[in-house]
Amino acid sequence: MQILAYIASNFISEYENVANSSIAYLLNEYPAARAALKSLLASDNVPTYYKTELSTTSNGRPDVTGIDINGNKTVIIEGKFWANLTPNQPKNYLKELSGSGKILFLAPGTRCASLKTEIEKRLNGENEKVIISSWDNFLALIERENSEQYSHRLDADLLQIRELCQKMDAEGMPPLSASDLDPMNGRRVSQFADVIDECNLLLRKREKFNFKGLKTTPTKYGNGFYFRIFSFGCYLAFDSHKWFVRGNHAPIWLNIRKDNGSQWSESEQIVHALRYFDARNAYDSDYGIELQPGMDKSQVVNHIIDKVTEVLEYLNGRFVNGQITR
């Protein structure tokens, strides 16, 4: 059974639980995963059986518990991304361990240092039974073990869980820092909203841009407006989510679709043409408009207007009889 099927059959809405179910699956299924855990914990032996969400009488419910052949709890694994430690972590979990058992905390690499500080504060210092590692490090150790006696299935499963972890790391909300609460952040977001409004006003004055029956529409991550031009239906917006998840880190995005009259549709031809025009800033039907440090508001607005016009005229120039030419 592949890992996605396993997750689907044990699905829980919280991302951390999905990742932890995946870790339990790897450890139950593959000797290479257990060898990596053994290396990470510097233990002579690790269990061959792991159970998720195993309740205790009064010490909480660890994410993953490793149980040896005698029924002893010798490994507890807590998979963290950006959620806070619970009151039971790690003090009460230590009470559940048998003999030389250990607790492993897995977290994003950028959180490991702060997590270590928080755990040591709760324990009044270091504890040799508590190990902290990044998700990437643990998965890399499994990959290294897998290279000794290669399993294609394990390699495929590792790829899926690595992508899952990367998604959780990118989309989770880290604890707030002082810089996050700087009012300049709010000021900048509101200014980008103003920039979009100014672009709307300026494009309405241009002959080829058609706004009839179309609206300015706020979204979950920003705001933008719709318009038609040539044979395209477009949406120009400030998008805070795409700003940080897309590789070019552009705050302004132009979505371009084929205007079929009564509806707009995705077009593979537009996707390919955008990629040919500017591969760095093309993401399917989206085109990211990069801004440069030092630009003032007027320069930002003019740059957006110029880039919108440039890319749409380029696409229109490649359309002949409704088809993109090479």
pLDDT of residue 325: 61
Token pair 């690790």 is at which residue?
46
The answer on 140 and 21 residing in a single domain is yes
Answer with the one of 147, 171, 195 that is the final residue of a domain.
171
Distance CA 140, CA 79 (A): 16
pLDDT of residue 225: 96
Answer with the one of 148, 171, 194 that is the final residue of a domain.
171
DSSP at 43? -
Nearest to 101 by CA among 67, 78, 55: 67
Question: At 177, phi and psi to the nearest 5?
Answer: -110, 170
Distance CA 32, CA 35 (A): 5
The answer on 142 and 98 residing in a single domain is yes
The answer on 206 and 83 residing in a single domain is no
pLDDT tens digits for 23-45?
A: 999 999 999 999 999 999 999 89
The answer on 220 and 141 residing in a single domain is no
Is residue 5 very low, low, confident or very high in pLDDT (cuts 50, 70, 90)?
Answer: very low
Mean pLDDT value of segment 198-225: 91
Residue 178: inside a domain, yes or no?
no
pLDDT of residue 320: 61
Instruction: Please state the domain count of the chain.
Output: 2
The answer on 222 and 96 residing in a single domain is no
pLDDT tens digits for 263-272?
A: 899 999 999 9
pLDDT of residue 229: 94
Mean pLDDT value of segment 68-95: 90
The answer on 31 and 77 residing in a single domain is yes
Determine if the peptide bond prior to 90 is cis (ω within 30°).
yes
Q: Is the pLDDT of residue 322 over 60?
A: no
* Helices and strands counted in the chain (H then E): 11, 14
The answer on 187 and 167 residing in a single domain is no
Residue 319: inside a domain, yes or no?
yes
Q: Is the pLDDT of residue 237 over 60?
A: yes
pLDDT of residue 261: 82
The answer on 127 and 98 residing in a single domain is yes
In 10 A of CB 91, how many CB atoms? 15
Q: Is the pLDDT of residue 8 over 50?
A: no
Residue 177: inside a domain, yes or no?
no
Q: Is the pLDDT of residue 94 over 70?
A: yes
Residue 129: inside a domain, yes or no?
yes
Share the mean pLDDT of the chain. 88
The answer on 66 and 17 residing in a single domain is yes
Is residue 67 very low, low, confident or very high in pLDDT (cuts 50, 70, 90)?
Answer: very high
Highest mean pLDDT among 5-14, 88-97, 314-323: 88-97
Residue 254: inside a domain, yes or no?
yes
Residue 176: inside a domain, yes or no?
no
Answer with the one of 171, 192, 212 that is the final residue of a domain.
171
The answer on 118 and 211 residing in a single domain is no
Higher-confidence residue of 163 and 236: namely 236
Residue 242: inside a domain, yes or no?
yes
Whole-model pTM: value is 0.63
Distance CA 148, CA 32 (A): 9
Distance CA 303, CA 316 (A): 20
Domain that residue 305 falls in = 183-324
Residue 26: inside a domain, yes or no?
yes
Mean pLDDT value of segment 146-169: 86
Distance CA 273, CA 44 (A): 58
The answer on 159 and 192 residing in a single domain is no
- Above pLDDT 90, what percent of the chain? 62
